[in-house]
Structure 1
Amino acid sequence: MQDGVTKIIINSQVSAEGQSEDLKALAKLMNNEPVKLNKYFDYAQRRIKEINEDPEMREKIMLYETRMLEREQASGKAGYEQGKADAAKIILENQLNNGKTLEQATEFVRNLKLISDKELEKIIDLYK
C-alpha cells in the first residue's frame, strides 16, 4: 500500500484445496467452524468465544472497526460521513442485540460522538 501497510486478504469462502493445513484451518476459523489442529488454534477459538460473550469487549472492537473505517473513507467527505453513520447504526444494533433498550442504546451511541444528534435521530426512527 502507499502508506507502507501490507494487507493480506484471505477469501475464506473458496476452496482451500492445495493449501497448507494451517491456512485451511484459518479459513475454517474465519467461517466460525471448529478447528482441531494445534494449541494456537485452540487458543484462538477460546479467545473468540470469550470476546463474543463479552458485550463490553464487542463494543470496543466495534469502535475500533469504526475508526478504521473512518480512516479508510477519509478521502471523501461524503463517504466519511456515511461511514460514521453506518458505524453508529451497527453499534446501535449491537447494543439492542445485547439486551439494551432503545433509549440505552441511543445514549451509548450518542456518547461515542460519532455523528450529530440529528443524524442519530434519523437512525433511531428506523427502530420505532
Structure 2
Amino acid sequence: MTKIIINSQVSAEGQSEDLKALAKLMNNEPVKLNKHFDYAQRRIKEINEDPETREKIMLYETRMLEREQAAGKVAYAEGIEQGKIDSAKVILENQMENGRTLEQATEFVRNLKLISDKELEKVVAMYK
C-alpha cells in the first residue's frame, strides 16, 4: 500500500492546476476545472448529506486508525525485542573483551534473562 500525503494548507504556487484544484477541493472550496472535479464535488456533497454513508465512512476511518495503532504497537514491541538482542550482543562482546571465554560470557548473558535461550543461541552462533 502506498500513502500519499498532501498538505492542502500550504501554498500550491508553482504546482499544476490539477494539484491546486485538489488542494482547494480538500479545503472544501469550490473548484471549476474539469468534469472530474465536478464529479468529485457532487459525490462529496451526496456523501455529506447522507447520514448513513457518513456513518459508514466514520466507522471505516475508525477501523483504519485502530489498525494503524495496532501495527504501531507490534512494531514497537519488535523494536524493543531487537533492542534486547542488540544489548545482549554488546554485553557478550564486553564480557569476552574483559577476558571471559565465550561459554562464560554466554552464561553471564543467560543469567540476565534479557532474551530467550533460543535467541541467545542465535547470538552466540555468530561468535563461533
TM-score interval w.r.t. the shorter chain? 0.5 to 0.7
Q: Give the equivalent residue in structure 2 for 1:121.
A: none
Q: In 2, distance between residues paired with 1:6 and 1:34?
A: 28
Q: Give the equivalent residue in structure 2 for 1:37.
A: 33
Q: In 1, distance between residues paired with 2:25 and 2:67?
A: 27
Cα deviation digits, residues 53-91 of structure 1 (max 9, x gap)? 0000000000100110010000339xxxxxxxxxxxxxx
Q: Name the structure with the higher helix share.
A: 2
Structure 1: which 5+ runs fail to align? Answer: 78-128
Q: In 2, distance between residues paired with 1:47 and 1:9?
A: 21
Aligned Cα root-mean-square deviation (Å): 1.1
Residues 1:58 and 2:54 aligned together = yes
TM-score by length of 2: 0.55
SS in 2 for 1:25: helix
SS in 1 for 2:53: helix
SS in 1 for 2:19: helix
TM-score by length of 1: 0.55
Shift in Å, 1:6: 1.1
Residues 1:16 and 2:34 aligned together = no
Shift in Å, 1:46: 0.3
Residues 1:76 and 2:73 aligned together = yes
Q: Which amino acid aligns with 1:76?
A: K
Q: Give the equivalent residue in structure 1 for 2:22.
A: 26
Structure 2: which 5+ runs fail to align? Answer: 75-128
Aligned length: 73
Which structure 2 residues correspond to residues 77-96 of structure 1 after superposition, within 5 A?
Answer: none
Q: In 1, distance between residues paired with 2:2 and 2:47?
A: 26
Q: In 2, distance between residues paired with 1:33 and 1:65?
A: 23
Identity fraction in percent: 92
Q: In 2, distance between residues paired with 1:36 and 1:7?
A: 26
Which of structures 1 and 2 has the bigger CA Rg? Answer: 2
Q: Which amino acid aligns with 1:46?
A: R
Runs of at least 4 residues off by over 6 Å: none
